[in-house]
Each structure stands twice: as C-alpha cells, then as structure tokens.
C-alpha cells in the first residue's frame, strides 16, 4: 500500500512503518506543490498540522482510500473527501496535553509568572507589585466540551474551580452532566452567560461555518475586568481585532493564545501587548501525546494491511 506522510513523525514510528513494508513517501516540511504531486499515487494519507489536504489534492487523489488525521480538528482537510467516498480516521490523543497547557497558562496569568521572571532578570524585586489570584472557587467557563473540554473540566474541578460549559452539540435535555465519579458540570444554555459570569473563559471550539468569528466584541465586552480569556480551539473562531482592542484597553486582565487566524502570526497586533501569553500551537506537543497518536496510527494501518 502507498502511504503519504505529511508532517513530522518520530524515527521509531518511521522504522515500524518500514517493517510493515508499506511504500512510503514522507514530506516533513509544508510543501503544497510536492504534496499535490505525491498524492496522485497514495492510497493512504497521514496528515499533521500545519499541513493541509486541499481541494486540489482531493481532486488529484485517484487512488486515495483513507485520510488519517494525526491530531484534533479537521479544518485543514477539504470537505470534498466525502464526495469521493474517502474515509476519514481521527487519531486525536492530545486532550490531556492541551488541558495541562491551558492550566499552566491560567497559573501564569494569575500569578504573573512571566512578568516575575523578567523583572528578576532585569534586577528588579517586585514582590509587593506582583499580587495575583488563586484558582480555588473561581468560575471557569469552557466553550466546546469535547475530549479537551472534558479533560480540562476534570482538572479544574480537582483544583477547586466551579466548572461551566457551553456546547450546542451536547446535553440538549440536561442541565448537568457528570464527568469522573463525583464531578458535576453545569451546562449553560445561554452562550453569553459564560462570558458574564466566569472568571476564566477557555475557548476549545473547532472552526466550522457556525463558529467562524463567533467570539467578537459583543461577547468579549461582557467579560469581567479581572477575567482572563484563553484560546486553545482555533484562531478563526475569534475576531482578532476585537480581542486586540479588549486587551489593549485593559478591559480584561489578560489572555493566552495557542492558535491564531494566520499561523505563524507575523503581523498580528497582539504580538506587541504585554498582557497576553503567546505559544506557537504547542497544545499537543508532548512526548506522551506523540507516542499515543503514533501508536493509534500504527494500529489503524496494521488493521488496514490485514484487511487487504
């Protein structure tokens, strides 16, 4: 079977693929021209961000039977795969890693860790100026309650926070759901309530026609003055200019972003602000996540080989 790999994979993963005796073409760096060329013979494509499966690639894929998405979110995959009866398999074992990074950013924003580090290195001693907050008893609102949102909910409750969520896809007939053994999450029916009532708002929404630009000034202006906003869903779900204005005018305490409308965000005005933490889409970048995703990919490929 011919496999096209798009993205970076471990040497161990590549060695195991060779043992399966697949015909492998590997394009680690983003190269759309080469990807469009190589997909013509591929029966399986394995794709990681920031690579994309474009409309042209689907049109060129005469033999393609499977797309394996190594990660979460399918906004980088053309919907035309459905018309060609290509099967999509998601291998998204990244929920723990993303949830932990979110919590890390919450602590950073609440305790001014970046500012404290920079001040000491600059020879300053701002002990009395850097007064922060504790997370206990704070309200955290999670937009999108899939695998990442649920994992974040579990960790947040363990830290003593009150967890609220909003997700139109779930819980239409429920006011509460239980995650874990004793953890209850209040499901908000009103999207705006998350912004009005929560101290911490975390966006975990995927990018769809419905969510594109969903978070704008009308909702961001509902946030409390000491609220923090974190985007770990997709950049296109937030209107960048509106978030920039809220942060620039200090209408909220701060923000943390791991995703952007354009990646990398070279011309993003938010780059110049001091009340925002920016990370380069590293939510899933842990050794454990990479091992788990690659293990799941290998399992799927092995089953495909047996079925041939």
Q: Which candidate in 263, 288, 294, 303 is catalytic?
A: 263
Token output for 194: 């998350």
232 vs 101: CA distance, rounded Å? 9
Distance CA 184, CA 238 (A): 28
192 has catalytic annotation? no
Extract the tokens encoding 147.
Answer: 């695998």
Per-residue 3-state assignment (H helix, E strand, C coil) for 96-124: HHHHHHHHHHHHHHHHCHHHHHHHHHCCC
Q: Does residue 134 carry a catalytic annotation?
A: no
Task: State the catalytic residue, choosing from 69, 96, 234, 290.
Answer: 234
CA angle 300, 285, 4 (to 5 degrees): 40
What gap in Å lies between CA 274 and CA 254, rounded to an integer?
9
Between the alpha carbon of residue 134 and those of residues 30, 61, 108, 111, 200, the distances in Å are: 42, 53, 11, 8, 12
Our answer to whether residue 95 is catalytic in this structure is no
51, 96, 157, 281: which one is catalytic? 281
Return all residues near 54 (Cβ < 8 A) that are at least 6 apart.
Answer: 32, 36, 78
- Among candidates 165, 162, 135, 159, which has minimal Cα distance to 147? 165
Q: DSSP class of residue 175?
A: S
Q: At what angle do helices 147-158 and 95-111 cross, to 10 degrees?
A: 50
203-232 burial, b if ≥16 CB within 10 A, otherwise e? bbbbbeeebeebbeeebbebbbeebbbbbb
Where in the sequence numbering do the catalytic residues fall? 234, 263, 281
């Amino acid at each position: 079977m011919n496999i096209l790999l798009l993205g970076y994979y471990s040497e161990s993963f590549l060695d195991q693929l060779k043992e399966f005796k697949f015909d492998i073409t590997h394009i680690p760096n983003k190269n759309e021209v080469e990807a469009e060329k190589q997909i013509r013979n591929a029966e399986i494509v394995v794709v990681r961000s920031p690579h994309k499966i474009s409309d042209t690639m689907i049109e060129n894929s005469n033999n393609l039977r499977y797309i394996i998405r190594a990660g979460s979110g399918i906004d980088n995959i053309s919907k035309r795969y459905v018309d060609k009866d290509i099967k999509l398999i998601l291998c998204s074992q990244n929920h723990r890693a993303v949830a932990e990074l979110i919590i890390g950013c919450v602590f950073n924003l609440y305790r001014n860790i970046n500012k404290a580090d920079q001040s000491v290195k600059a020879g300053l001693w701002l002990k009395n100026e850097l007064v922060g907050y504790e997370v206990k008893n704070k309200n955290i609102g999670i937009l999108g309650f899939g695998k990442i949102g649920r994992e974040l909910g579990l960790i947040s409750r363990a830290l003593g926070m009150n967890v609220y969520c909003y997700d139109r896809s779930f819980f239409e007939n429920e006011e509460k759901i239980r995650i874990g053994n004793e953890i209850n999450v209040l499901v908000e029916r009103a999207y705006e309530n998350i912004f009005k009532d929560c101290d911490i708002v975390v966006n975990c929404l995927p990018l769809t026609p419905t969510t594109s630009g969903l978070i704008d000034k009308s909702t961001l202006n509902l946030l409390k003055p000491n609220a923090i906003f974190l985007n770990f869903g997709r950049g296109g779900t937030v209107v960048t200019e509106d978030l920039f204005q809220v942060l620039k005018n200090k209408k909220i305490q701060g923000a943390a972003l791991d995703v952007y409308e354009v990646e990398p965000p070279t011309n993003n005005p938010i780059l110049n602000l001091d009340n925002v933490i920016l990370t380069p889409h590293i939510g899933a970048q842990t050794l454990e996540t990479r091992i788990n995703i690659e293990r799941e990919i290998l399992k799927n490929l092995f089953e495909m080989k047996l079925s041939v």
